[in-house]
A and B are shown apart, each in its own frame.
Chain A
Amino acid sequence: MTKALIIILAPLLASVIAGLFGHRIGRAGTHWVTIIGVAISFLVSLLVYIDILWEDAPVFNANLYTWLMTGGISLHIGFLIDELTATMMVVVTFVSLMVHIYTIGYMHEDPGYQRFFSYISLFTFSMLMLVMANNFLQLFFGWEAVGLVSYLLIGFWYTRESAIFANLKAFLINRVGDFGFLLSIAAVLMYFDTLDYAEVFHQAPELAGTTITIWGDAQWQLLTVICILLFIGAMGKSAQAPLHVWLPDSMEGPTPISALIHAATMVTAGIFMVARMSPLFELSETALSFVMLTGAFTAFFMGLLGLVQNDIKRVIAYSTLSQLGYMTVALGVSAYAAGIFHLATHAFFKALLFLAAGSVIIGMHHEQDMRKMGGLWKIMPITWITCLIGSLALIGFPGFSGFFSKDMIIEAVHHSERYGAHVAYWAVLSGVFVTALYSFRLIFMVFHGQERMDAHTRANLHESPPVVTVPLILLAIPSVTAGALFIEPMLFGDYFGNSIVVHPENNVLGSLGEHFHGWLAMVEHGVTQLPFMLAMAGVLVAWLGYVAFPEAPRNLATMFKPIYWLLTRKYGFDEIYQAVFAGGARMIGRLLSGLGDRLLIDGMLVNGSARIVGLASMMIRQVQSGYLYHYAFAMILGLLALLGIFVHGL
């Protein structure tokens, strides 16, 4: 418990100090406090990791305090540290540490320096709360807390209209996902009477046959409903189509957070969550098919969008969407371990790519348009080499980390018998070509070919300082090696223990393992396979289009104008959402406010009844005329009426 608390509290404390006393302790004070906080967290996480994975320490599962007891249910704050958690903790704290160091260089001219450090430390805390949770409540807390920090950081430069538009959009779209997530938590509580992971997973098989009705008489499998609702939450956070639109816009935030939050850690929370919930998902074929197809759709179609972007960060953002799609596909075919494996390798190489892009952006004086770059390899050699390493890992070049993780996903989909798996297979396979094409389009446009920047920028170009390049180098190391080192234990060994549950009939990784003869053999085998050919074809086409024949892409764009138009419009998701949801909600609001509240309720009922009272009293006032004969006449009429009733009544 002490270790867990140190891991959680060190970044929180650092964040609070940086946030409240940032101006008193100064810039250097702030970055030292936060870096030490995260470094402590990383080192202790590493100790825990070694304990759990190497020393075979028992799984840690304990409650810290009772958050709430009501209606016979107690909700706790507590930690579950097993193989899956420990892996995530190391990945999160390592990338976070690198980003903290890098930030010293990237943000050193920014007036919001202290605020930035406070936010990213707070993020580290939130993300750790998310992965270390032992119950749904705390998971939801971490889930929303990372969303909050993401909101704050996308809008970090709050005077930019585009940034504050993007952060609101990100928060609201995530809330759509959370809407599903919250309902699934409600369903879990209703049927399991607890929100504790261990107990829920324990009871899950007994509830496998339970059905519920939602609409009419149709019977739904309870677990299918729960899992699909949970996955809607994951779709928001992990930016799966159609809830993906916030991620490209989130690039309005400073580059270090694009690396930390919108590539390496937060967006993978959805992947982590599904893996964590594997005991539930395994019980619903339907939900898994839904997961797989969503992932496949995202992997292929979002990759295509990366081809037409000219902003260096947006290219990488679409690449992130596509890679998240790959992870989701892996989850959908029950290859959870492969999904987490790709999550980890992707965290390293994608953080690397973003930070390298950031290094280029600093060099170019905050220019992000790739059409104004070119030939940078001579001037920024470290950035160039590390970026190349990241790209090779991304396209799955044999030997690099991404090769192992992505190849295994493709193989797993190939061998899966899940409904719709063949469609998903073609999507992920063609995705390989697309990935290679946009990745090397970036490399060639930025680092090779003609220098297209203006003379002033050219004169001031130089390699970034060591606080920037050292994290690049440190991230490049796992980007190359993590795959070869971990593929065997992680995918085919007993790495995850009981933290991930796969039913024997779904165990594609198990059957793949029978043909696995070490990473070297896989590399040798890999160069003869289809994915490698496709990747090489992608690189070749990128070379042809952006180095050999720079005119070709433009001609192609004119030839296939409709497709190009559709891609630059990002399939129109943004416009449709803006019109239908944002516009629609405002229209409904105006209608209800104007017609409902002001006209019907206030106009007719409230002020209307006041008017009726007024009118009525005006009429009655006429009766009180003051003339005696009026009153006498009224009395006579009354008497006559009474008499009539009296006579007729009898």
Chain B
Amino acid sequence: MAYDFPILSLIIWLPILGGAALLFIGDCIGAQNTKCYALVLSLLAFLLSIPLYLEFDTTTAAMQFVEKVPWITAFDINYHLGIDGIALPLILLTTFTTILVVLAAWESITDRVPQYLGAFLILDGLMVAVFCALDGILFYVFWEAQLIPMFLIIGIWGGPNRVYATIKFFLYTFLGSVFMLVAFLYLYHQAGTFDVATLHHLPLSITAQTWIFIAFFLAFAVKIPMWPVHTWLPDAHVEAPTGGSVILAAIMLKMGGYGFLRYSLPITPDASQAWAGVLIILSLIAIVYIGFVALVQRDMKKLIAYSSISHMGFATLGMFVIFQIIHRTGAAEGAIMAMEGSMMQMISHGFISGALFLCVGVLYDRMHSREISAYGGVVNTMPVFAAFMMLFAMANAGLPGTSGFVGEFTVILSSFEASFWIAFFAASTLILGAAYTLWMYKRVIFGEIANDEVAKLQDINARERLILASLAVMVLLLGIWPDPLFTIMHASIENLVQHVTQSKLIP
């Protein structure tokens, strides 16, 4: 690899160390300096991730910017990092979103500011590390490590019911990932290494594959989350502070999807194929069932949380429908489209759900309520905000021209090649997604001014405008011209699809 500079490590450790330092020095340097310091660090991390995009070679599926240092030699555990076209977009999304989260905290967090920002900076590095790790144990360590800052963020800066929500969040995700650890240990036992690339080519019997698949499934399905292990998400979102919700929805959920792509599918392709039907049905349940549930929510954050589950249903659908597509058409083209659509859906959802949670945050900062019924007629007092939220609501409803459309469109189109009915149920989001999003918008934003508090609302300030505008630009840009993003993914996804369609059963 021509790139000798350990840039990935820098992107990971700069915010982690910087954030850790902030925990200690923060109380001495004052709140204002703390914020500037955090902003500079998050900006630096983002700027450092830009060369990844510029220098990225889109023609190869091989890992790039690789770093490999022995860590625990006795068990052949290495500090092994590298990225491909699947990890790169997620890393960019992470570093970009962290800046916005720091900015969003500017005025709304007044309690223990250094610790709050420090937690997010640490989280930033850990999440990037999850997407870079090429060693099972390294991945597991980072995966579990980022539970801690999030646990604290919800537990300390969360809402009134935060204790129930954090424990539920922690136990749910921890329970899932413990099985993942067992799976890694078994794989080590078989292969003698935790190296991901080696594991990808490790032949396994169908029984072993099935157990490993189930173990991975428990970890990743909880994280995404898939129905029926989704109920921690609405609670966690409702109680989390705005920044926590944004990170949770925009990035942490994507780790589940990333896990399927990096571990489940390539390590256990035969079991994945056998279980694809179940996963497809669970995804469709997420899309339809959760769509109905979202419709009747009275709490804005809960509604958006359910909408996230429904949208992530497209991500899992796109990943597992590939087996049916290949079975029906005998060619890989449709499968590649489905899987790229699934990635697109994850990236786009990062921007849109992040934006929607920030919008709710803007309202919450002013009114201290998330209840839909507490609002009404906000457009009268906050017209600029209403315009932004309209854009994000429409993007959430999958309007063409926004990024929300691209992922759903490609997944629905390719699912049709698997079965008319899969596409049929997936396409119901066109109606359901519009119904729950726009009905909420109508009740919150439109109408006569509902009460005196709404009448006193101030429109968004320059800082909030900057945050929402930068997200709006991304949502529109990816909607109008998604091709550059897909170009990054082509080689890796093609390689992945080819890989998972080859059986690796022990003969």
Interface residues of A (CB under 8 A from B): 65-73, 140-141, 144-145, 148, 151-152, 155, 158-159, 161, 164, 168, 171-172, 175-176, 178-179, 182-183, 185-187, 189-190, 212, 214, 585-586, 588-590, 592-593, 596-597, 601-602, 605-606
* CB within 8 Å for A172 and B482 given contacts A141-B401, A155-B446, A178-B430: no
Of chain B, the residue at the smallest CB distance from A20 is B387
User: Which residues of the other chain, A, contact B232 by a CB distance below 8 angstroms?
Assistant: 606
* B435 with A66: CB separation less than 8 A: no
CA distance A155 to B393 in the complex (A): 15
A72 touching B296, Cβ below 8 Å = no
| 15 examples of A-B residue contacts, CB within 8 angstroms | A67-B482, A67-B483, A68-B410, A68-B483, A70-B410, A72-B336, A145-B401, A148-B394, A175-B435, A179-B430, A183-B416, A183-B424, A588-B292, A589-B293, A601-B231
Among B292, B377, B399, B410, the most chain A Cβ lie within 10 Å of the Cβ of B292
The answer to whether A158 touches B428 (Cβ under 8 A) is: no
Question: A68 to nearest B CB, angstroms?
Answer: 5
| CB-nearest residue of chain B to A603 | B231
Question: Given A589-B296, A596-B293 in contact, is the A168-B340 Cβ separation under 8 Å?
Answer: no
Q: Shortest Cβ distance from B193 into chain A, in angstroms?
A: 34
Can you name the residue of chain B whose Cβ is closest to the Cβ of A19?
B387
Chain B 261-288, CB-CB to A under 8 Å as 1, else 0, gives 0000000000000000000000000000
Contact of B413 among A186, A212, A214 (CB under 8 A): A186
Residue B499, interface by CB 8 Å: no
Complex contact B482–A68 (CB within 8 A): yes
Q: A179-B428, A189-B413, A585-B295 are in contact. List 15 more A-B contacts (CB 8 A).
A: A68-B482, A69-B483, A71-B337, A140-B400, A141-B400, A141-B401, A144-B405, A148-B394, A168-B439, A175-B435, A212-B420, A589-B296, A592-B289, A601-B228, A606-B172
- The answer to whether A172 touches B435, judged by C-beta atoms less than 8 angstroms apart, is yes
Across the interface, name the chain B residue whose C-beta is closest to A71: B337
Which of B340, B406, B446 is packed against the most chain A CB atoms within 10 Å? Answer: B446
A413 to chain B, nearest CB (A): 33
**0/1 interface trace, chain B 400-417, chain A, CB 8 Å (1 if under):** 110001100110111111
Contacts of A179 in B (CB 8 A): 427-428, 430-431
Q: Are B400 and A144 in contact (CB under 8 A)?
A: yes
Instruction: Please measure, in the bound complex, the distance between the C-alpha atom of A152 and the C-alpha atom of B482, giving whole angstroms.
Output: 26
Which of the residues B294, B423, B486 comes within 8 Å of A68, measured between beta carbons? B486
- Which residues in A have their C-beta under 8 angstroms from that of B417? 190
Question: Which of B334, B401, B431 is within 8 Å of A71, CB to CB?
Answer: B334
Among residues of B, the one whose C-beta sits closest to the C-beta of A212 is B420
Is B297's CB within 8 Å of the partner chain A? yes
Q: A141-B400, A179-B428, A606-B231 in contact; A593/B416 too (CB < 8 A)?
A: no
Q: Is B481 touching A597 in the complex (CB atoms < 8 A)?
A: no
Residues of chain B at interface, number, CB under 8 A? 63
**Chain A residues with Cβ under 8 A from B333's Cβ?**
71-73
Q: Does B200 count as interface, using CB distance less than 8 angstroms?
A: no
Asked if B370 is at the interface of the complex by the 8 Å CB criterion, the answer is no
Does B341 belong to the interface (CB within 8 Å)?
yes
Residues of A within 8 A of B430 (CB): 175, 178-179, 182
Find out whether the CB atom of A67 lies under 8 angstroms from the CB atom of B481.
Answer: yes
Indicate if B215 sits at the interface (CB-CB under 8 A): no
Q: CA separation between A212 and B417, bound complex, in Å?
A: 12
Does B453 sit within 8 A of A, measured CB to CB?
Answer: no
- Residue numbers in B under 8 Å from A144 (CB-CB): 399-401, 405
Q: Is the CB of A172 within 8 A of B401?
A: no
Contact B439 A159 (CB under 8 A): no
**B434/A175 in contact, CB under 8 A:** yes
Which single member of B228, B405, B424, B446 contacts A158 (CB below 8 Å)?
Answer: B446
Q: What CA separation (Å) do A148 and B445 show in the bound complex?
A: 16
Chain A residues with CB under 8 Å of B289's CB are 592, 596
Residues of A within 8 A of B435 (CB): 172, 175, 585
Contact among A67, A168, A212, A597 for B231, CB-based, below 8 A: A597
A159 touches B483 (CB 8 A): no
> Known: A68-B482, A69-B486, A168-B439. Is A183-B431 also a contact (CB below 8 A)?
no
A158 in contact with B447 given A70-B337, A141-B401, A179-B427 (CB within 8 Å): yes
| Minimal Cβ-Cβ distance residue in B for A182 | B427
Kindly identify which residue among B296, B423, B434 contacts A171, using a CB–CB cutoff of 8 Å.
B434
Greatest chain A CB density within 10 A among B336, B377, B431 is at B431
B128 to chain A, nearest CB (A): 26
Contacts of A66 in B (CB 8 A): 483
Residue of A nearest to B296 (CB): A589
Is B434's CB under 8 angstroms from A172's CB?
Answer: yes
- CB contacts (< 8 Å) of B297 on chain A: these are 593
Closest to A193 in B: B333
B66 touches A (CB below 8 Å): no
Using A140-B400, A158-B447, A189-B413 as known contacts, say yes or no to A172 and B431 having CB atoms under 8 A apart.
Answer: yes
- Assess whether A145 is in contact with B228, with CB atoms less than 8 Å apart: no
Cβ of B168: which chain A residues have Cβ within 8 Å of it? 606
